[in-house]
Amino acid sequence: MDQSTKPQTSCFTISETTFDPAQLHHKETIFTIGNGYLSTRGSFEEGYPGDHAATFAHGVFDAVPIVFTELANLPNWAELNIYLDGERFSLTQGEILYFNRTLDLFTGVLKRQVRWQSPQGHTYDVCFERFTNLADPHVLCLRVSVTPLDIGGKAYAIVEFRAGLNGGVDNLGILHWNWLDQKTEDQAAWLQLTTRASGIELGMAMQLTIDKNPPLPPFSKGGVQTTNNTGWDVQNHPTLVARLDSAVGETVVAEKIVTVFTSRDLPDPAQAAWDLLRAEQSYDDKGGVTPPLQDQNNVFPINSVWNTKYAANQAAWKHEWDLCDLVIEGDNDAQLAVRFNLFQLLIAAPRHDEKVNIGAKTLSGFGYRGHAFWDTEIFMLPFFTFTRPEIARNLLSYRWHTLPGARRKAQGNGYSGAQYAWESAATGDEVTPTWVPHFSDPTKLVRIWTGDIEIHVSADIIYGILQYWRTTGDDAFMLERGLEIILETARFWASRAEWNSEKNRYEFNDVIGPDEYHDHVDNNAYTNYMARWHLLKAIECLAWAEAAISPAALAQGKELITRLNITPDERTNWQNVADKIYIPYDPDTHLIEQFQGYFQRRDVEIKDYAHLKLSMQVILGIEGATETQVLKQPDVVILQYLLPELFDEQTIQANYAYYTPRTDHVYGSSLGPAIQAIIACRVGRPEEGYEHFLRAAHADLYDVRGNAGDGIHGASAGGLWQAVVFGFAGLRITPTGWTTQACLPAHWQRVAFKFFDHGKLQEINLVKDK
């Protein structure tokens, strides 16, 4: 990105000072706001051609061709158009005299200030603000103020607001909503829709109130001083209209409050939205809207719904940052990047729903259709496990609720137990597309094999469960949910392993590891190591469940083992398979071959192609990249991060040195750089680690890969927290406690953060010696 278009930053603020239509999609992602129930992209209230305005709510999936299912774009609740003396406010007309848009990460408020000269030459100050309430996720708030500055010598300007609920939205051309009903009355309206295939109902309601400084005379019943105060009851697009006059220097304020529910929340979401909206209003004895008081230091009414909700929202965000903030002193760029990425995780985190997960693109874009991958458990989940364990429990509970889908996949593939989908949505059934258009020639299709043979996700989920359990001591979760997942997926691994009688070992052939530049490989190191680890942990967990934890827990554990029919013979088989899984390792070189035959593939100097600024797969082609040692991400390095107890220092050093120059760090996978930074610290190279850290830090802020417009890279965001905590700060969690071994970049002066260890809040404050 050109320096002039980079978001300007402070430690809790993302901002931009120019309007660039060419950057619409990237900035929509960057300025996404949310509250864990839904997120709204940072598109402009007045709308522009080609924008990707979208609001996504957890769990609201609908059918779609090719990719099976996707999150349905909710009605555009933020739509608000302004007409000034008959001219529509638009940044593409007239002249922008001043522009500043900011996202306050500390409160989740998106604000835009514009000084606009209309085509007629009239000048106005316009300010938009909006937030999705973290304290009450079903309430969305937007307000805009307009101040005429120069209206050509006229006494006043006519200001008109048109606030809509636009149900005619799509998912990049695909429509998901059928209209059911709507109503408009007294500066309020509601809309009722249902998804076309999944039958999820949505209810959305809005109210529009207006104020002016100096105060308006007594309000009419509609709350607005005007002779033209009406609503447009256009089907699927109810719109509230308020029209009034404003002299030079007078500020007119429009406040739009929106409520939203779906049938995932309760049976009648439209009625619930309407009831909540009305509960937010206050009425006088005559049934009209009570005029708000004026704050002498603020043009906005001090008892408005906005201000009430803002206070609660601010308190909720303060609580989040009190627990989750990560302080870096000596590097404002790193500090801002970390907070930005943590904000993106927090706005996507389901606080009140245990049947949803966080998709790879969070709730911020159309990329990956809202599907969940291993990205959650390996990259995003640790942040929540250590700072907001109740959210981590919800995310892991999703895997328990979708266990039937994993069982169906295993059975359909001819295996035992449960095999988790590579891409998962509402039910846990596989939703990875089989064919997609070729990235360089849309007229051709590319076969996608990840849903068929990228099987390591089942072990990744277990890794997340066990990390959560070890950190929280949540035995109830293990007995009620975690243990069942662990045992059923162990069954899958034991049945998926292939016996090689010639070499007297079990193998996993025809798979894809985390490095997706190479498919249909045999004995991928990451897959084999994780499968063996998983089977051994399943045996340990069985022994734990059969121990005398407490009489009730003992009975619960035995009931589960009986219900699943885990026999002594099956347990013995798991041990036998684990003992004989092929584990590639060369004791002379200490190298672990990424997959069988990898070392025989053609070596390539990646640095020779750096000037092309493209991924190596694009440069070499899909088949060309497969024939080389070039990696999308280094499976072995990731493995050594996850299971450090299995590898000595020489092995970690040797494999880091071998695989680092062969990895497409810049334009390959966004998942790799953060983990690479951690291992760099562990081998004593913090400055090299910092280079990898920055690649993760800038992935979305500076659109490093050119695809941030599709949504936030959630795994990179979670990996960034891990890079600081487990890399530079060197936090280690062991059965006997925790330690830190700081390895800070030279210019960092201090790192501070908090985490929970078995329910007790720990505070880390690492200060570099001067």
Phi, psi (deg, nearest 5) at residue 358:
-100, 120
Q: Is the pLDDT of residue 194 over 90?
A: yes
Average pLDDT, stretch 505-515? 98
pLDDT digits (tens, 9 = 90+) for 67-81: 899 999 999 999 999
In order of their start, the domains of the chain are: 31-321 (2.70.98.40)
User: pLDDT value at position 443?
Assistant: 87
Helix (H, G, I), strand (E, B) or coil at 424: strand
Q: Pinpoint the alpha helices (H) of 614-699.
A: 616-620, 622-626, 635-642, 649-659, 672-682, 686-697
Q: Which residue has the higher pLDDT, 443 or 478?
A: 478
Residue 523 CB partners (closer than 8 Å, separation 6+): 507, 508, 509, 582, 584, 595, 596
| For residue 292, pLDDT beyond 80 | no
What is the pTM for the complete model shown?
Answer: 0.94
Q: 546 falls in which pLDDT band (50, 70, 90)?
A: very high
The pLDDT confidence band at residue 303, using thresholds 50, 70 and 90, is low
Residue 107 tokens read as 């409160």
Give residue for tokens 């936030």. 712
- More confident of the two residues 218 and 149: 149
| Span 13-72, pLDDT tens digits | 999 999 999 999 999 999 999 999 999 999 999 999 999 999 999 999 999 998 899 999
For 183, residues 6+ apart whose C-beta sits below 8 A from its C-beta are: 189, 190, 233, 238
**Using an 8 Å Cβ cutoff, are 344 and 364 in contact?**
yes
Report cis status (omega within 30 of 0) of the bond before 214: yes
Q: What's the whole-number mean pLDDT along residues 511-531?
A: 98
The H or E element spanning position 57 is: strand 55-57
Instruction: Give the percent of the chain with pLDDT over 70.
Output: 93
Token pair 């708000």 is at which residue? 292
pLDDT surpasses 50 at 8: no
- Supply the pLDDT for residue 66: 86
Of the chain, the percentage scoring pLDDT greater than 90 comes to 88
Average pLDDT, the chain: 92
Q: Which two tokens stand for residue 683?
A: 């081998």
Distance from C-alpha of 82 to C-alpha of 604, rounded to nearest angstrom:
57
The predicted-structure confidence for 383-419, as pLDDT tens digits, reads as follows 999 999 999 999 999 999 999 999 999 999 999 999 9
Residue identified by tokens 């005619």 is 168
The residues pairing with 110 across neighbouring beta strands, listed in sequence order, are 103, 130
The pLDDT score that the predictor gives to residue 10 is: 61
Q: Shortest CA distance to 468 belongs to which of 370, 566, 386?
A: 386
Tens digits of residue pLDDT in 600-621:
999 999 999 999 999 999 999 9
Cα-based angle 592, 460, 413 (whole degrees, multiple of 5): 100
What are 242's strand-pairing partners?
161
Q: Tell how many helices (H) and how many strands (E) occur in the chain.
A: 21, 31
Per annotation, catalytic residue among 45, 255, 516, 593: 516
**So what's the pLDDT on residue 111?**
98
When pLDDT is cut at 50, 70 and 90, the band that residue 217 belongs to is very low
Tokens of 628: 């080389």
SS3 of residue 9 by DSSP: strand
State whether the Cα torsion 216-220-226-227 is positive or negative.
Answer: negative
What is the crossing angle of helices 551-564 and 483-496, to 10°? 30
| Banded pLDDT at 461 (limits 50, 70, 90) | very high
Is 45 designated active site? no
Q: What is the DSSP string of 263-275?
A: TTT-S-HHHHHHH
pLDDT band at 288 (very low <50, low <70, confident <90, very high): very low
As a whole number, mean pLDDT of residues 353-378 equals 98
Q: Residue 332: CB partners within 8 Å, gap ≥ 6?
A: 9, 10, 11
Rounded Cα distance between 577 and 536, Å, is 10
Q: How confident is the model at residue 185 (pLDDT cuts 50, 70, 90)?
A: confident
Of 58-62, 287-291, 499-503, the least confident: 287-291
Mean pLDDT throughout 156-165?
95
The DSSP bridge partners found for residue 243 are 160
pLDDT at 1 over 80: no
State how far Cα 37 lies from the chain centre.
12
Contact 615, 664 (CB under 8 A): yes
pLDDT digits (tens, 9 = 90+) for 115-124: 999 999 999 9
33-34 vs 13-16, strand pairing mode: unpaired
Given a contact cutoff of 8 angstroms between Cβ atoms, the answer to whether 97 and 123 are in contact is yes
Nearest partner of 419 among 457, 467, 381, judged by Cα: 457
pLDDT for residue 191 is more than 50? yes
The reported pLDDT for the residue numbered 455 is 98
- Mean pLDDT on 253-265: 97
| Distance from C-alpha of 156 to C-alpha of 154, rounded to nearest angstrom | 6
> Quick check: 769 pLDDT over 90?
no
Q: Check whether 430 has a pLDDT greater than 70.
A: yes
